[in-house]
């Protein structure tokens, strides 16, 4: 599948729908405030693309769930992530379907209700992404155990620069960007002002 396995494919396809659905809500709110038809059209097209792409990401995530190594903590987080993704995509799908069925005949109350539903969907996106980030960055979901063990061993060995590379002192104070370039003080110089 394009050189990807399911977890990598999920990671590759989940950002664009999120961005599209975010701008859908922004375009829709801007269209409401400015009464501009062009913004309303932009909201409609980004909603279409976001919903289609979002379901691709959900399907890839469902497939990825079955192939990654995981323990109980990751499993529980994956179940929460999955539920949130399904509810969020269901919300945006309802908004899209309602807009397609009613087309230009939407009344003010329907428009307001769909706008609120879209904002709720946006909250769902943020929450889903937060759990997805927790899976990857706190629990290393999708990283095989052998790869993690090799990385842990590599980190324990420490990091050394090759000859000619600048050696960073991990205990040194960060460089002061307010100092003029090229001006340095020898070690042991007491603090002073220029």
Question: Per-residue confidence at 187, pLDDT binned at 50, 70, 90?
Answer: low
Per-residue model confidence (pLDDT) at position 36: 95
Residue 163 lies in a domain: no
Residue 70 lies in a domain: yes
Residue 1 lies in a domain: no
Per-residue model confidence (pLDDT) at position 105: 83
Give mean pLDDT, residues 31-48. 94
Residue 180 lies in a domain: no
- CA angle (69 as vertex; 67, 71 as ends), nearest 5: 130
Using one digit for the tens of pLDDT, what is the confidence trace for 47-71? Answer: 999 999 999 999 999 999 888 888 8
Give mean pLDDT, residues 81-95. 97
Residue 84: partners with Cβ closer than 8 Å, 6 or more residues away = 124, 127, 128, 131
Residue 64 lies in a domain: yes
pLDDT over 60 at 87, yes or no = yes
The rounded distance, in Å, linking the Cα atoms of 96 and 118 is 10
The rounded distance, in Å, linking the Cα atoms of 26 and 43 is 8
Question: Per-residue confidence at 177, pLDDT binned at 50, 70, 90?
Answer: low
| Residue 17, domain extent | 6-146
Residue 15 lies in a domain: yes
Residue 190 lies in a domain: no
Residue 140 lies in a domain: yes
What total number of domains does the chain contain? 1
* Summary mean pLDDT of the chain: 86
């Amino acid at each position: 599948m394009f050189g990807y396995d399911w977890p990598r494919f999920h990671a590759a396809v989940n950002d664009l729908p999120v961005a599209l659905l975010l701008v859908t809500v922004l375009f829709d709110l801007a269209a409401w405030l400015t009464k501009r038809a062009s913004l309303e059209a932009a909201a409609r097209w980004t909603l279409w693309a976001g919903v289609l792409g979002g379901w691709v990401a959900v399907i890839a995530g469902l497939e990825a769930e079955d192939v990654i190594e995981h323990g109980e903590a990751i499993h529980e987080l994956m179940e929460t992530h999955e539920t949130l993704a399904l509810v969020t995509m269901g919300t945006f799908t309802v908004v899209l379907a309602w807009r397609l069925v009613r087309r230009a005949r939407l009344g003010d109350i329907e428009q307001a209700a769909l706008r609120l539903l879209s904002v709720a969907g946006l909250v769902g996106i943020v929450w889903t992404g937060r759990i997805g980030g927790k899976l990857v960055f706190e629990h290393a979901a999708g990283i095989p155990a052998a790869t993690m063990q090799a990385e842990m061993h590599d980190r324990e060995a420490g990091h050394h620069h090759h000859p000619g590379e600048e050696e960073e002192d991990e205990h040194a104070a960060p460089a002061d960007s307010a100092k003029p370039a090229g001006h340095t003080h020898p070690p042991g110089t007491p603090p002073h002002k220029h």
